[in-house]
Amino acid sequence: MADFPHASLANTADRLRALPPYVFARLDELKARAREQGVDLIDLGMGNPGGPTPQPVVEAAIAALRDPNNHGYPPFEGTAGFRRTITEWYDRRYGVKLDPDGEALPLLGSKEGLTHLALAYINPGDLVLVPSPAYPAHFRGPAIAGGEVWEVPLSADNDWIIDLGRIPEDIARRAKVFYFNYPNNPTGATAPREFFVEMVEFARRYEILLVHDLCYAELAFDGYQPTSLLEIEGAKDISVEFHTLSKTYNMAGWRVGFVVGNRHIIQGLRTLKTNLDYGLFSALQAAAEAALNLPEIYLHQVQQRYQTRRDFLISQLETLGWQVIKPKATMYLWVPCPPGMGSTDFALEVLQKTGVVLTPGNAFGEGGEGYVRVSLIADRDRLQKAIDRLQDAGIHYQMAVSESQLFDARFPV
């Protein structure tokens, strides 16, 4: 900011300055410096699925691009076709009946909707319950809105599932919104159906708006089928559920997501959004329909791909002394740091010595301290290479802090 000619203009709004530093941004800087030095980075840090979007989706997009009917502003509420496809998909997958007029809204990616929902519902000072660790949009959206975030601590002892008993009565009474996400990013945890029933009871008792992020609806393994919050009786009175096409369909760059659930809550979000954006390009909505209608075999292939990587990496980490819990869903392993090492130190050390990028758990809040998140986004050869490099650098679970400091940084960044 020093060279900004009008220093006073460089003062961003308080709501921006109140945000905690974004760990991913710092990690990006370090990655850029390593790349400049010619390091062949193996990036297992991001949740950006590798691989192309399925061909039928690309073809549908091309056809839709050629249709001039798609070239104008899209309808604010999304195209009727995509909304109907969403509700039919819900019925097929979860046996949940939704009205395409009002209970489903396309989004510019789910992160957009998760964040804007906070602006639509949270006043400065309102209390918002957010687990720690959590996907950053779940606490940054409320923070931008000026809400007071009360972190619900997750722990390995409870399999990273929210323990409602840890929320004090006065906090529960004050809370207005509760964000949560299973299958969970970053921990890979899945929650049983009974947990969802408890969440609905809790939210109804204290009149809390429930926001469930079902981003990993389909990246599930070993026959496990994630639960939709809307399957639970009474849930639709008090909740919305967010989905994305980014992960399952390799469409992260397309920015397509949607929200379903209570029509009044969705209407609030829609009212805010009509003031901010014009919705998703109609041609992309046509492509998204093609994605949700892909044959089941596509899903099985995707699931198989991640499942194979999961099993491979867990067995390889075991040779380095790690006991990693096998997740039933998501594209992440949640790996404890060597005893005595913090998340940032460990991730930095691994990056400097091996060029392998991991995400420090504290990027997801204090509750993620002591862990790193490893994304299953590289193919088997690259995963093998990552393990070889860890081995060569003497990185293993039981390494003592002092021992680790004896090594010179091979890739000083």
Ligand X SMILES: *Cc1c(COP(=O)(O)O)cnc(C)c1O
Q: Is 405 exposed, middle or buried (0-12, 13-18, 19+ CB in 10 A)?
A: exposed
Closest approach, Cβ 385 to ligand X, in A, equals 25
- The DSSP result for 123-150, as a single string, is -TT-EEEEEES--HHHHHHHHHTTPEEE
Closest approach, Cβ 112 to ligand X, in A, equals 6
Choose among 97, 110, 102, 60: nearest CA to 287: 60
Would you say 80 and 217 are in contact if contact means Cβ atoms under 8 Å apart?
no
With contacts defined by CB under 6 A, name the span among 109-117, 350-358, 360-368, 391-399 that binds ligand X.
109-117
Please report whether residue 307 would count as binding ligand X according to CB under 6 A: no
With contacts defined by CB under 6 A, name the span among 117-125, 172-180, 243-251, 274-282 that binds ligand X.
243-251
359: tokens are 């995400």
Closest approach, Cβ 324 to ligand X, in A, equals 19
Contact residue for ligand X among 44, 49, 77, 111 (CB under 6 A): 111
Contact residue for ligand X among 31, 34, 44, 47 (CB under 6 A): 47
- With residue 80 as reference, give the H or E element that holds it: helix 80-94
CB nearer to ligand X: give 119 or 215.
215
Closest approach, Cβ 107 to ligand X, in A, equals 7
Please report whether residue 183 would count as binding ligand X according to CB under 6 A: no
CB nearer to ligand X: give 184 or 307.
184
Query: In the sheet that 257-261 helps form, which strands lie side by side, from edge to edge?
Result: 104-107, 257-261, 239-244, 209-213, 175-180, 127-132, 148-153
Distance, in Å, from the CA atom of 289 to the CA atom of 338, rounded to the nearest integer, reads 45
Contact residue for ligand X among 79, 87, 185, 343 (CB under 6 A): 185
CB nearer to ligand X: give 228 or 244.
244
Contact residue for ligand X among 135, 178, 206, 306 (CB under 6 A): 135
Please report whether residue 252 would count as binding ligand X according to CB under 6 A: yes
Tell me if residue 274 falls in helix, strand or coil: helix
Tell me if residue 1 falls in helix, strand or coil: coil
Would you say 211 and 268 are in contact if contact means Cβ atoms under 8 Å apart?
no
Distance, in Å, from the CA atom of 65 to the CA atom of 67, rounded to the nearest integer, reads 5
Site for ligand X in 186-215 (CB under 6 A): 213, 215
Give the contacts of 158 (CB within 8 A, at least 6 positions apart).
none
Please report whether residue 110 would count as binding ligand X according to CB under 6 A: yes
Closest approach, Cβ 129 to ligand X, in A, equals 16
With contacts defined by CB under 6 A, name the span among 89-97, 108-116, 278-286, 387-395 that binds ligand X.
108-116
Contact residue for ligand X among 45, 54, 142, 257 (CB under 6 A): 257
Under the rule (CB under 6 A), what is the footprint of ligand X?
Answer: 47, 109-111, 135, 181, 185, 213, 215, 244, 246-247, 252, 257
